[in-house]
Amino acid sequence: MTTFQRARSEEAREIRRQAILDTAAQMLAEMPTSAVTLNELSRRSRLAKSGFLKYFESREAVLLELLDRAWKQWIAELGVHLDEDVDTAWSSTRRGTEVAAVLTRTLSEQPQLCDLLSAQAGVLEHNVSAEVASRYKKAALANVAALTELVRARLPELGPDAAEQLCAQIIMATGAVWTHSRPSTGMIAAYEADPELAKMRLPFTATLERMTTTLILGALTLAANAGTGT
């Protein structure tokens, strides 16, 4: 196996780290998060495993950083779509419904982000040091805050705390729906054999849009009721 020479400067180390992240992203275009192994990631990065661990402490550390990168990219593009599709002159219900549609549509166009979110709590946050965990959680909080700002700009009826909770819930729902919308081969066969069971199969986009719409309209209702004292 051809290996890179050890990066000597901080600039060279950062270039190498970004190359590893790019390699992981390429792998995720070919396979689910669960199939990305440290051995294969090291091989494709042209690094011995011992050399790889000088840049990232585990494959989970790589994938958490990649999750943060994908999350930031989605948010950077989201504001443009919300500006195009949501008119602030509409009623709160219509704005809420359209915000849900935009969030869902743009998330469905980011399969790597959704797959990583689905693995976040159960897989990716394990096998990492306190330092990596803390760094990722701070980045996640910043990403939720950025999403909250975008949503509140279209739904000012929501207070900052309610909007932040809503956005965190939408992110959690995205990961959960992604997992359930990708059943195993055996489960697909069971669905195909029994129409009653097939009702349990959840298409990602439609399911997430219904759930996100419910969360947003529910948050708007709670905010309105709080304002009237009911």
Give tens-digit pLDDT for 187-228. 999 999 998 998 888 999 999 999 999 999 999 999 999 876
Band of the pLDDT at 165, cuts 50, 70, 90?
very high
**Other C-beta atoms within 10 Å of 194: how many?**
11
What's the first-to-final CA gap in the chain, in angstroms?
69
Q: What pLDDT, on the 0 to 100 scale, is given for residue 26?
A: 95
The CATH number of 58-228 is 1.10.357.10
Least confident of 50-54, 137-141, 148-152: 50-54
Domain ranges of the chain: 1-56, 58-228
d(CA 184, CA 204): 15
How high is the mean pLDDT of the chain?
93
Locate 174 and state its tokens: 């995205």
pTM of the model: 0.89
Give the model confidence (pLDDT) of 3-26 as tens digits.
444 556 788 889 999 999 999 999
Band of the pLDDT at 230, cuts 50, 70, 90?
low
Q: What pLDDT, on the 0 to 100 scale, is given for residue 10?
A: 85
CB 117 within 8 A of CB 47: no
Average pLDDT over residues 110-117: 96
Band of the pLDDT at 141, cuts 50, 70, 90?
very high
Domain 1-56: CATH class, spelled out: mainly alpha
